[in-house]
């Protein structure tokens, strides 16, 4: 890369984990597509050896504008076990800071590339932004957050100081500016136990948010209009400017007919909007008891389903850090006789399926989802209504957004043991796929799909906002 004042150079730093790498790189691709005079250096910390999927994805990036490399990997044996994946990612990031500082220093002193104008880090790599401050680089957070979750994080330091006891124990809902009242039981997982290391980590980070130069959300105005208005009015609020630049999702397509998975051929044979897609993301697993109930509930519903099945686990986020899962055959854990009884009703895909292609297929009429933010945006962008089944992280709050605020989903009830029973599963599937309520949900998510598409147009709100951020960085690059 030639050193020239016409190029604006930024660095991006994801936290360890495939599900964090993809969004920040998709953001980078969007940035250089809209602003070809930008160059992005992606500096990637890793927990263990990088996955094959990560390497393959990096090799597919536009090589002229985006360069990437891995920091020395952190061994998982160096980290305390029995901690949440988010906390492990943060610790791995902390251990990677000396290597990161060395590389950023070298980039700032390089004679072959322009100095860095900005450093963009994701929410678990926020410590990298301290180095940005040291080097007089603009510090921006890129967050897989809804406007509501961003507003929630701005409130955490105040709640931590004023509320006694555990949040889920409070009988009354909490007020989150611009959002529907939120019960403590629907707070993100890291807020369920205030003595946990994960909670302390989040409070520590959220207290530092006001020092940032900006926060970019992978979201758009219509995903929370009232909250977006509150966030936009940051004068005197103490929080930094918030920029809604999404929805940015992976656009990876199938290479050719030869590579097309069998599940797509099966979908081709199904009637329009007749199939319920069931997937809990790259890090979602169920217990054996819950897996049995889900299987039998799908069977009882009588509706077609395509289920991305993982082997059961007592840990909901068992494969969080990996793009691949256990070598066990998950079909072996299904109820006896289930595959034979549902051979004309459903299709089971072990471990992984091409989600973007599935959601865009016209035979898919619903998505039973764990409510991860990537999956939520993908469902919205393809106009697929949801059954919300949150498992961990901030997924319960995302479910509240989808169910109560946007009303584009239905949510099953759990019993006293925390299990969703088969009859309940049957009823919510029928509600979504065949009832008048389901038709209303489909109409609302169709409208939201249109709003998402409009936000990403050349003159759309998110495109204009990203250009505003790019202009800030260009000015910073000129000043250096």
- Please classify residue 133 by burial: count the beta carbons closer than 10 Å to its beta carbon, then call 0-12 exposed, 13-18 middle and 19+ buried: middle
Q: Please answer whether residues 275 and 363 qualify as being in contact, where contact means their C-beta atoms are separated by less than 8 angstroms.
A: yes
Tell me the C-alpha distance between 43 and 53, whole Å: 17
Angle among Cα 290, 323, 88 to the nearest 5 degrees reads 85
Asked whether the beta carbons of 45 and 13 are under 8 A apart, the reply is yes
* Residue 221, phi-psi category: left (phi > 0), alpha (psi -120 to 50), beta (remainder): alpha
Compute the distance between CA of residue 246 and CA of residue 471 in angstroms, rounded to an integer.
Answer: 17
Report which of 321, 280, 260, 311 is spatially closest to residue 54, judged by C-alpha positions: 321
Cβ burial 281-311 (10 Å sphere, 16+ → b, else e): bbbbbbeeebbbbbbbbbbebebbbbbbbbb
Q: Give me the catalytic one of 9, 39, 122, 206.
A: 122
Q: Which of 20, 303, 361, 382 is catalytic?
A: 20
DSSP symbols for 121-178? EETT-TTHHHHHHHTT-EEEEEE---HHHHHHHHHHHHHHHH--S-GGG-SSPBP-TT
- Residue of 456, 175, 207, 410 whose CA lies nearest to 301: 410
Q: Exposed, middle or buried by CB within 10 Å (0-12, 13-18, 19+), for 378?
A: buried
- Residue 216's region, left for phi above 0, alpha for psi from -120 to 50, else beta, is beta
Which helix H or strand E contains 120, and what residues bound it? strand 116-122
Cα gap 216→271, rounded to integer Å: 40
Q: Are 155 and 380 in contact (CB under 8 A)?
A: no
Q: Is the bond leading into 85 cis (omega within 30 degrees of zero)?
A: no
Check if 122 is active-site: yes
Q: How far apart are CA 246 and CA 466, in angstroms?
A: 9
The catalytic site residues sit at 20, 122
């Amino acid at each position: 890369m030639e050193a020239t004042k016409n190029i604006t150079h930024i660095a991006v730093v994801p936290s360890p984990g495939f599900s964090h790498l993809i969004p920040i790189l998709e953001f980078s691709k969007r940035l250089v597509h809209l602003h070809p005079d930008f160059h992005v250096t992606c500096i990637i910390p890793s927990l263990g050896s990088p996955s094959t999927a990560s390497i393959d994805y990096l090799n597919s990036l536009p090589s002229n504008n985006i360069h990437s490399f891995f920091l020395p990997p952190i061994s998982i044996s160096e980290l305390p076990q029995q901690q949440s994946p988010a906390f492990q990612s943060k610790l791995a990031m902390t251990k990677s800071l000396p290597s990161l500082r060395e590389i950023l220093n070298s980039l700032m002193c390089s004679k072959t590339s322009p100095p860095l104008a900005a450093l963009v880090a994701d929410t678990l790599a926020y410590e990298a932004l301290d180095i940005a401050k040291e080097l007089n680089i603009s510090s921006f957070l890129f967050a897989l957050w809804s406007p509501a979750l961003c507003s929630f994080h701005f409130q955490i330091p105040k709640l931590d100081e004023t509320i006694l006891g555990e949040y889920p124990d409070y009988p009354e809902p909490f007020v989150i500016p611009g959002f529907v009242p939120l019960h403590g039981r629907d707070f993100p997982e890291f807020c369920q136990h205030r003595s946990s290391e994960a909670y302390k980590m989040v409070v520590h980070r959220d207290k530092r948010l006001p020092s940032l130069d900006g926060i970019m959300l992978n979201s758009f105005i219509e995903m929370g209009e009232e909250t977006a208005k509150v966030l936009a009015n940051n004068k005197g609020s103490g929080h930094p400017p918030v920029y809604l630049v999404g929805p940015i999702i992976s656009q990876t397509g199938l290479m050719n007919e030869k590579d097309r998975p069998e599940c797509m051929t099966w979908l081709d044979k199904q009637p329009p909007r007749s199939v319920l897609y069931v997937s809990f993301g790259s890090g979602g697993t169920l217990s054996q008891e819950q897996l049995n109930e889900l299987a039998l509930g799908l069977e009882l519903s009588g509706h077609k389903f395509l289920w991305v099945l993982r082997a059961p686990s007592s840990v909901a986020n068992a494969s969080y850090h990996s793009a691949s899962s256990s070598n066990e055959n998950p079909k072996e854990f299904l109820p006896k006789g289930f595959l034979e009884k549902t051979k004309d009703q459903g299709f089971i895909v072990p471990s992984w399926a091409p989600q973007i292609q599935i959601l865009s297929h016209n035979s898919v009429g619903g998505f039973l989802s764990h409510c991860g933010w990537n999956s939520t945006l993908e469902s919205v962008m393809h106009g697929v209504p949801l059954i919300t089944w949150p498992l961990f992280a901030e997924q319960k709050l995302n479910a509240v957004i989808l169910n109560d605020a946007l009303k584009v989903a239905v949510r099953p009830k759990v019993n006293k043991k925390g299990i969703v029973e088969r009859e309940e599963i049957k009823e919510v599937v029928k509600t979504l796929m065949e009832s008048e309520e389901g038709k209303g949900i489909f109409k609302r998510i169709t409208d939201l799909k249109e709003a998402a598409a409009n936000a990403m147009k050349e003159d759309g709100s998110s495109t204009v906002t990203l250009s505003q951020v790019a202009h800030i960085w260009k000015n910073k690059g000129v000043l250096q």
